[in-house]
Amino acid sequence: MLRPATPFAKYVRHPLEALAAVLLWGFFRILPLDWASGIGGLIGGKIGPRLSISNRAKARIKMAFPEKTEPEVEEIVIGMWQNLGRTIGEFPHSSRLSFDPADGRALISGQQHAEDFRDDGEAGIFFSAHIGNWELAPLVTLAYGIDSVFVYREANNRLIERLYLLGRSSIRDILLRKGSEGAKGIMRALRDKRHVGMLVDQKMNDGIAVPFFGHDAMTAPALAILALKFKCPILPARVIRIEGARFTIDVGEPFYAEDTGDRDADILRTMTRVNETIEGWIREHPEQWMWLHNRWPKDITDKVGNGIA
């Protein structure tokens, strides 16, 4: 649940943020998709690395990849900002993206896994991460007829939240906000043998400690808890940016949470496998992941990332 906004935030900061977002949205909307993606990437790559928050990203990259040189770390940071800029530029166009293989805009790898997941008659959970253009994942399930709902975190700014839902008008009915109502929606969906999609690469303060790049990261256990409760398959899927506004939807082989009767151990084992999968994705394309997230405790990234420990 979001904290109530202060009067200053509600009447000053939030309207200004929303105005900037609307102008940016409108600018990218009137451009062709490839132009919007390219200009977004150019702006992100030029401005982002100059922001102070990039220092936090660099520390996390050094922690995850201690063998990387300073120029290599800088290159990853620039690539991260370019990818984020492209994703923002593409967002106003995302509902119009074609997933027809003949179009060549977004191709699918592991299509058989997706079709088996769709046709097995079971409930299912698929997870992804903030890699490539993660906003496309819900649209892929529509294109392939996978009956799904998606969990998302609503924006702190209510005005920007409205803009987000406007951009997601084609999938608005299958979006569930994180929180008590969203949890009820997830349970209903799984009981009805539908599929639930989650982005699971962000920190959860009251989660469980699970290894990620060799260091414990507080991780939400909900995916494992639900998979054990409903005994349903778990499907890994990611959206990889190939070049510009062209993507590969990579669908992995589904697996089940092992149920040994030791609930805590089973949850930890399942989430360790999930984190290992995401870590593997990041190692393949480190410049496409959001290193801006506070995935590890600050003291770990400060000490390890800056060579103190």
How far is Cα 223 from Cα 81, in angstroms, rounded to an integer?
29
Task: Dump pLDDT digits (tens) for 94-128.
Answer: 877 766 666 778 888 888 998 999 999 999 999 99
Number of Cβ atoms within 10 Å of the Cβ of 109:
14
Torsion sign over Cα 264, 2, 161, 19: negative
Q: Are 25 and 92 in contact (CB under 8 A)?
A: yes
- Is it the case that residue 196 has pLDDT exceeding 90? yes
- Would you state the structure tokens that stand for residue 146, as one six-digit string? 């996978």
Using the predicted structure, report yes or no on whether residue 92 has a pLDDT greater than 80: yes
Q: In whole angstroms, what separates CA 145 from the centre of its chain? A: 21
**How would you classify residue 244: left for phi > 0, otherwise alpha for psi between -120 and 50, otherwise beta?**
left
Between CA 217 and CA 300 the distance in angstroms is: 10
User: Which tokens belong to 209?
Assistant: 């400690």
More confident residue, 198 or 1: 198
79, 128, 194, 196, 242 from 141: Cα distances, Å: 27, 13, 12, 11, 20
CA distance 147 to 154: 22
Can you give the three-state secondary structure of 158-227, one letter per residue?
HHHHHHHHHHCCCCHHHEEECCHHHHHHHHHHHHCCCEEEEECCCCCCCCEEEEECCEEEEECCHHHHHH
pLDDT value at position 308? Answer: 44
Structure tokens, 222? 């909900």
> What is the pLDDT averaged over residues 247-268?
95
Do strands 234-243 and 246-251 pair parallel, antiparallel, or not at all (unpaired)?
antiparallel
pLDDT one-digit tens code per residue, 128-177: 999 999 988 887 787 778 899 988 887 788 878 787 777 676 677 778 88
Overall average pLDDT of the 76-105 stretch: 86
Question: What would the two tokens of residue 111 be?
Answer: 């299509």
Of all residues in the chain, what percent carry a pLDDT higher than 90?
Answer: 63
Q: Round the CA-based radius of gyration of the chain to a whole number and report it.
A: 19
How high does pLDDT run on average in the chain? 89
Tell me, what's the pLDDT at 33? 93
45-72 pLDDT, tens per residue? 999 999 999 999 999 999 999 999 999 9
pLDDT bucket at 299, cuts 50 / 70 / 90: low
Residue pair 133/84 in contact (Cβ under 8 Å)? The answer is no
How would you label 268-283 residue by residue, b for 16+ Cβ within 10 Å and e otherwise? bbbbbbbbebbbebbe
pLDDT band at 200 (very low <50, low <70, confident <90, very high): very high
- DSSP letters, 233-296, are -EEEEEEEEEETTEEEEEE---B-----S-HHHHHHHHHHHHHHHHHHHHHH-GGGB-TTS--S
Write down the pLDDT at residue 309: 39
Amino acid found at 232: C
The DSSP output letter for 2 is: P
Q: Point out the least confidently predicted range of 92-106, 189-203, 225-239.
A: 92-106
